[in-house]
Amino acid sequence: MRHTLDRLYTWSGYIAAGFIAAICALVFAQVILNAIDRLSKLITGSAIGLTIPSYSDFTGFFLTAASFFALAYALREGAHIRVTLMIQHTTGWVRQCIEIFCVALALAVAVYFCWYTASLTFESYTYNDLSAGIIAVPIWIPQFSMVLGLIVLSISLLDDLVTLFRGGKPSYFDKGENLLANNSQQDQEVK
């Protein structure tokens, strides 16, 4: 089960990276087309009018997909910002209880947003809502990427909650949060 879940989180990160790469490719292609248009205007006196229709809409859709697919992977890698001012001074069962509370609260919020976004996506599908760009895209398609990303995030939070209830450390514990503490300890050891 652990291997399957870890692969899910990793593939979610790969999908997010793929959408970021698609944004870069789309913007790069539009910049090249703009340069060709400028060159044509300088040479012939008139622009060709090269453009990728609705490219700004597509980059926005891709950014949404990348952001939501990256949520679970970022959580597992300790990349989410956590306010640990109070919790860093606790140890043992007190810290475990605080971690359980925080992860359970995050899970509740993620499940709520997952449910809300799924109902919004279904409503967009039912009413056949379309984007307002040159290319009319059914809005449920980019919204569905949000739902999938929130489902994977919810699974990841549930995974960490079960780990905490079993007395283990959450996935993010030794990755992002303690990097500063580990670096300061290494600096003191060098001195």
pLDDT in tens, 150-173: 999 999 999 999 999 998 888 877
Q: So what's the pLDDT on residue 86?
A: 73
Entry pTM? 0.82
Give the angle subtended at the CA of 166 by the CAs of 165 and 168, to the nearest 5°: 100
Give the residue from 99, 78, 71 showing the smallest Cα distance to 8. Answer: 71
Instruction: Pick 180 or 88 by higher pLDDT.
Output: 88
Domain boundaries, the chain: 2-178
Q: So what's the pLDDT on residue 50?
A: 84
pLDDT in tens, 62-108: 999 999 999 999 988 877 777 666 777 777 888 888 889 989 999 99
pLDDT in tens, 26-62: 999 999 999 998 888 888 888 788 888 888 999 999 9
Q: Which residue's structure tokens are 């989180």?
A: 9
